[in-house]
Structure 1
Amino acid sequence: MFDQSPYTCRVEWGRRGAREAAERGDIIIIVDVLSFSSTVVSALNYGAVIYPYPPNIDGNDYAQKISAEYILGRAEAAKAGKPTLSPVSFNEEHTNKKYVLTSLNGAFCTWIASKVPALLIGSLLNASSVAAVTNQLRLQMNASVTVIPCGELWSNGKEEEDTLRPAIEDYLGAGAILSYLAGEKSPEAEVCIGAFHHTRSKLEALIWDCGSGRELRERGFGADVKHCSRLNVYQTVPILKSDHFVEYY
């Protein structure tokens, strides 16, 4: 199969892209702006400990085994006053507390690619910081980098259809990170960077009104959309260590 292997910095979509990059042994940056990546970055910014877990395995049982709290769905957690996949639900109260976080896209891609030399979490919130750390790791490990915009999943997909729905918020987040990365970019990465540069002045408006943003807003989570659309507001860089994320120093 023809791929982006001649280039240092690449971009691949979703679970399949995560597996491809993992098999190459690339450094991987997972980008799921609304909201897994943004939630992990925000949670670690407040000192929470996040264990990513795929949605097709019993996360509640896993949480009990490691003495962590299993993160509930947005609506359920909001009623209980607990942190959730909503990034704005985390604050100082959650410092040093352990949480199991699952999602259909970002957590699943993380699970698939967990054995790579380094797996980092990127978002618009920490785009320049995660790129700076990756630039260091790339030189230390002599490895290439693949940025994975996770995308969304179509609902009610038919058996013969691909369920991945490319999501512009993830593509723009990936483009932002790639724009700060050193190294030769693949054509796919260059186009992704171009999308970011072209829209940088109106990122918040575009993400507010994109399909994923509208879905969250209509469910009452407009604050999440606003929070996740901000560029370079955190220096926090989550990196996977064994089974959980720690802040890179």
Structure 2
Amino acid sequence: MFSQSPYECKIEWGRRGAREAAERGDIVVIVDVLSFSSTVVSALSAGAIIFPYPPELDGIKYAESIGAEYILGRAEAARGGRPTLSPVTFNEEHRNNQYVLSSLNGAYCSWIASKVPALLIGSLLNASAVAATAERIQQETGTGITVVPCGEMWDGTHENEDRLRPSVEDYLGAGAILAKLNGEKSPEAEVCTGAFNSSVNRLKDLIWDCGSGRELRERGYETDVRYCSQLNVNNIVPIMKEGRFIMCK
């Protein structure tokens, strides 16, 4: 059976990968560069409290039950001047406010893997910081580390087709984190690290012009793409505790 279990540092894709890592009891780092992970980092930097929740479930009802605000889609929320899945919409005005953030990829993968010893949120923004935190927790617990690039979902899939679309930005984000981990890496993790190392000087250009980057730019979110492409500009490491993300200390 396919397994990266013999290695300390592993990589698994998407929801199925999140479940695989959770079943192993690994420390899990969720990577959704455009934009869930970057938004969580930005929100916590502004002092907000984020609860991830799968979009297929009733997020509005869940938000009401915990006294939080449900984050709407980018366009709808922007019209009302409210924070969205766009990381640049969070600021000091949102300090201490609670929000339920849904997404098909990052929020869903976080929900699937929520019972692991430690679930961290990683992005290009905080790659070095999240790697250092994961490694510290690994030394304390003796568990492995799995980095989970979430990827995207194909639209209009036919019956029996897999919806997962691996994405360049999440692969590079995962590689940025894996490159800072000292444990023995699986071959899959080594290749991901190599992809990042060979691309590090072109990160902004590659993400700007990759499929996900073009999609956001065509919808008018060029600022999001630029923001999320920055490497190691934030030391905030979100960790999940009791269903919400807080800053790991």
- Answer whether TM exceeds 0.5 for this pair: yes
Query: Is 2:71 the partner of 1:71?
Result: yes
CA-to-aligned-CA distance 1:76-112 (integer Å, 9 cap, x gap): 0111100000000001111110000000000000000
Q: Distance in 2 between matches of 1:134 and 1:142?
A: 11
Cα deviation for residue 75 of structure 1 reads 0.4
Give 1:212's aligned residue. Answer: 212
The letter of the residue matching 2:209 is: D
Cα deviation for residue 139 of structure 1 reads 0.5
Cα deviation for residue 143 of structure 1 reads 0.2
CA-to-aligned-CA distance 1:8-51 (integer Å, 9 cap, x gap): 00000000000001000000000000000000001001110000
Q: Within 5 Å, which residues of 2 pair with 1:130-149?
A: 130-149=130-149
Give 1:21's aligned residue. Answer: 21
Q: Within 5 Å, which residues of 2 pair with 1:129-208?
A: 129-208=129-208
Q: Distance in 1 between matches of 2:2 and 2:56?
A: 31
State percent identity of aligned pairs: 68
Secondary structure of the residue aligned to 1:116 is coil
Give 2:241's aligned residue. Answer: 241
CA-to-aligned-CA distance 1:59-88 (integer Å, 9 cap, x gap): 011111111110000000111100000000
Q: Within 5 Å, which residues of 2 pair with 1:1-40?
A: 1-40=1-40
The letter of the residue matching 2:87 is: P
The letter of the residue matching 1:145 is: I
The letter of the residue matching 1:241 is: K
Structure 2, unmatched stretches of 5+, are none
The letter of the residue matching 1:195 is: A
Secondary structure of the residue aligned to 1:180 is coil
Q: Within 5 Å, which residues of 2 pair with 1:78-157?
A: 78-157=78-157
Secondary structure of the residue aligned to 1:28 is strand
Q: Distance in 2 between matches of 1:7 and 1:62?
A: 38
State TM-score, norm by structure 1. 0.99
Cα deviation for residue 182 of structure 1 reads 1.8
Cα deviation for residue 2 of structure 1 reads 2.4
The letter of the residue matching 1:218 is: E
Cα deviation for residue 247 of structure 1 reads 0.1
Structure 1, unmatched stretches of 5+, are none
Secondary structure of the residue aligned to 1:17 is helix
Secondary structure of the residue aligned to 2:245 is strand
The letter of the residue matching 1:26 is: D
Q: CA RMSD in A?
A: 0.5
Give 1:230's aligned residue. Answer: 230
Cα deviation for residue 242 of structure 1 reads 1.1
Cα deviation for residue 159 of structure 1 reads 1.1
Q: Distance in 1 between matches of 2:12 and 2:173?
A: 13
CA-to-aligned-CA distance 1:196-220 (integer Å, 9 cap, x gap): 0000001000000000000000000
Aligned length: 249
Give 1:59's aligned residue. Answer: 59
Q: Distance in 2 between matches of 1:171 and 1:230?
A: 15
CA-to-aligned-CA distance 1:143-165 (integer Å, 9 cap, x gap): 00000000000000011111100
Secondary structure of the residue aligned to 1:139 is helix
Q: Distance in 1 between matches of 2:17 and 2:28?
A: 10
The letter of the residue matching 2:205 is: A
Secondary structure of the residue aligned to 2:115 is coil
Secondary structure of the residue aligned to 1:155 is coil
